[in-house]
Every structure is written in C-alpha cells, then in structure tokens.
C-alpha cells in the first residue's frame, strides 16, 4: 500500500474515530514512512555503487538523455516558432 493511499484512508477514518483509532493510524503511518525511508536509502546506495562501478556507462546514458532532451526541446521550439 502506498503512503498516499495510507494517508488518505487514515484521514477519512480519523474524521469519525476516537483516540485509539488515531493512534493506530499514526503507528501505521510511522511504519510506512520508516519503510519508505529504508527503501529509498537502499536504492540510493545501490545506484551509488553502480555509478562508481560503471562511470563511463553512466556518462554515456546521461549524454544520450541530454541529447534527446535537447533535440525534443529544439523541435518543440521550432514548431512553436512556425
């Protein structure tokens, strides 16, 4: 379940809930946020290891993405200019 879904569901419930329900919601939300932070941290470290292990591949991908973005921007500007 995504954090946004959990927040929306909990917000609807807490409108009619008591303190006990609110505490359960806060606990689930805290757990979801903790899991999300852990997941982001893990993925960040994986990406960092990949970049350090394959620097030229990353440079090539970044250059390719930049070239595609530049070409797309130039094409849109030319189309808007005409």
Q: Distance (Å, rounded) from C-alpha 29 to C-alpha 74? A: 44
| Domain range list for the chain | 3-81
- Predicted pLDDT at 19: 74
Q: Note the pLDDT of residue 40.
A: 95
Q: Which residue has the tokens 């009619």?
A: 16
What is the tens place of the pLDDT at every residue in 15-68?
Answer: 666 777 778 888 988 999 999 999 999 999 999 999 999 999 999 999 999 999
The pTM assigned to this predicted structure is: 0.50
Specify the pLDDT at position 54.
96
* 14 vs 34: which has the higher pLDDT: 34
């Amino acid at each position: 379940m995504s954090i946004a879904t959990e927040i929306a569901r909990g917000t609807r419930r807490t409108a009619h809930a008591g303190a006990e329900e609110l505490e359960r919601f806060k606990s689930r939300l805290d757990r979801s946020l903790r899991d999300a932070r852990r997941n982001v941290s893990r993925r960040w470290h994986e990406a960092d290891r990949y970049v350090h292990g394959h620097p030229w591949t990353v440079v090539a991908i970044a250059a390719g993405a930049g070239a595609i973005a530049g070409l797309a921007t130039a094409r849109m500007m030319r189309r808007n200019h005409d």
